């Protein structure tokens, strides 16, 4: 970019080695209005690390608010929007919590200790913000508030249903027929979603969904199409809770155009058992506070799913082997008792 005259408030800086004008020569208003507004979230975050000037300009709340609302339209809800504004750095903090892939697969020592687990202060409310896209076109955007202090929630299996029982949402997705399953592959590649859970008290958020579907298949009984998205987290030191699966299931049905009939979030351990509300909250809060955020490349969900399935297979094999050893030990003990008893009877 060639050097040009600017207003007196703009300082022109030239690299004498190359004769090129540096970024500090561009007026701050131009950078903020015509350059930074064209960047997406990850690029804007990277630009903030380039210089102290860009760090200040990139921290503008309106920039991050625009990016967040464009990425997740569900947060335009008035209460959610106000809540995000109270985060430590506003929408920038929310983006930092929600955009990257959460990586927290180390089992917790605390959650396996009943005494320490019972002393954890649990949040009283969770807010879910859900956005579903097909080929980058928004087909569903909704928020759901949920109390987490009732005895029913804490003791029952954790489950969040986004839609009401008789509610359905029309989509532009055409049904590909019962015999041809190639359209299911297209659905798997082009359907994307985010399920962000917000903790209003701690002012933190986490995205519990893989961006892309892990599997898309027909339900064996109803024939409805089910797309599954998931996130794997570390549970506790019990073998069946070493890893837990947060799974979002989108159920669609219809003859011509698919309708979204159900969107649900559940948590399961490695034996396929649903976790209670209390256990789920304990794991979720630790993951939000201690989990690392990593920028994903799109296939993290499938990678985590395959690792989860492989670990389940290993634990199942170990369980079967332990049961065989125990059976043999019981048989040997029974034989010893049998011969000892008759030896005592015959030779006393």
Give tens-digit pLDDT for 55-108: 888 889 999 999 999 999 999 999 999 999 999 999 999 999 998 788 887 766
pTM attached to this predicted model? 0.82
**Whole-angstrom distance, CA of residue 15 vs CA of residue 17:** 5
User: What does residue 247 show for φ and ψ, rounded to 5 degrees?
Assistant: -120, 130
Q: To which H or E segment does residue 212 belong?
A: none
Transcribe 52-119 into DSSP letters: HHHHHHTT-HHHHHHHHHHH-GGGGSHHHHHHHHTSTTTHHHHHHHHSSEEEB-SPBHHHH-HHHHHT
Sign of CA dihedral 258, 260, 262, 263: positive
pLDDT at 11: 40
First-to-last CA distance in the chain?
108
pLDDT, residue 5, reads 36
Do residues 181 and 159 lie in contact, with contact meaning Cβ atoms separated by under 8 Å?
no
Which helix (H) or strand (E) segment holds residue 23: the answer is: none
What integer pLDDT is reported at residue 120 of this predicted model? 74
CB contact at 8 A, 227 and 249:
yes
Q: Diameter of the chain by CA atoms?
A: 116
**Which H or E run includes 257?**
strand 257-268
pLDDT means over runs of 10, the chain (348 residues): 36 47 74 85 87 87 94 96 96 91 72 54 93 95 95 94 93 82 89 95 93 90 92 76 91 91 94 91 90 74 82 80 86 88 78
What is the rounded (10 degree) CA torsion for 35, 41, 46, 49?
Answer: 80
Positive or negative, the Cα torsion across 316, 281, 141, 255?
A: positive
Across the strands, what pairs with 104?
A: 233
- Side by side, the strands of the sheet bearing 204-207 are 137-147, 125-134, 191-199, 204-207
């Amino acid at each position: 970019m060639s050097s040009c005259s600017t207003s007196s408030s703009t300082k022109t800086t030239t690299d004498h080695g190359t004769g090129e004008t540096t970024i500090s020569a561009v007026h701050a208003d131009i950078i903020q209005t015509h350059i930074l507004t064209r960047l997406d979230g990850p690029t804007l975050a990277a630009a903030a690390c380039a210089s102290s000037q860009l760090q200040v300009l990139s921290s503008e709340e309106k920039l991050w608010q625009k990016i967040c609302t464009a990425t997740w339209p569900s947060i335009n809800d008035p209460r959610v929007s106000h809540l995000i504004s109270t985060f430590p750095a506003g929408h920038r903090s929310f983006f930092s919590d929600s955009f990257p892939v959460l990586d927290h697969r180390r089992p917790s020592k605390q959650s396996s200790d009943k005494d320490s687990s019972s002393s954890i202060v649990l949040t009283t409310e969770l807010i879910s913000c859900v956005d579903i896209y097909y080929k980058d076109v928004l087909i569903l955007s909704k928020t759901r508030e949920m109390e987490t202090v009732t005895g029913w929630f804490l003791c029952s299996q954790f489950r969040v249903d986004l839609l009401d029982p008789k509610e359905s949402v029309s989509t532009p997705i055409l049904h590909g027929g019962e015999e041809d399953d190639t359209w299911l592959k297209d659905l798997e590649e082009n359907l994307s979603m985010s399920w962000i859970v917000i903790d209003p008290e701690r002012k933190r958020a986490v995205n519990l969904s893989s961006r892309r579907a892990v599997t898309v298949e027909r339900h064996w009984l109803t024939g409805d199409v089910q797309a599954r998205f998931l996130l794997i987290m570390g549970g506790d030191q019990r073998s069946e809770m070493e890893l837990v699966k947060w799974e979002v299931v989108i159920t669609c049905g219809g003859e011509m155009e698919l309708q979204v009939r159900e969107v649900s979030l559940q948590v399961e351990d490695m034996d396929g058992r649903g976790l209670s509300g209390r256990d789920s909250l304990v794991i979720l809060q630790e993951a939000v506070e201690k989990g690392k955020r990593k920028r994903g490349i799109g296939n993290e969900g499938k990678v985590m799913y395959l690792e989860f399935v492989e670990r389940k297979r290993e634990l199942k094999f170990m369980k079967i082997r332990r049961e065989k050893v125990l059976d043999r030990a019981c048989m040997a003990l029974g034989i010893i008792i049998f011969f000892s008893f008759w030896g005592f009877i015959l030779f006393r």
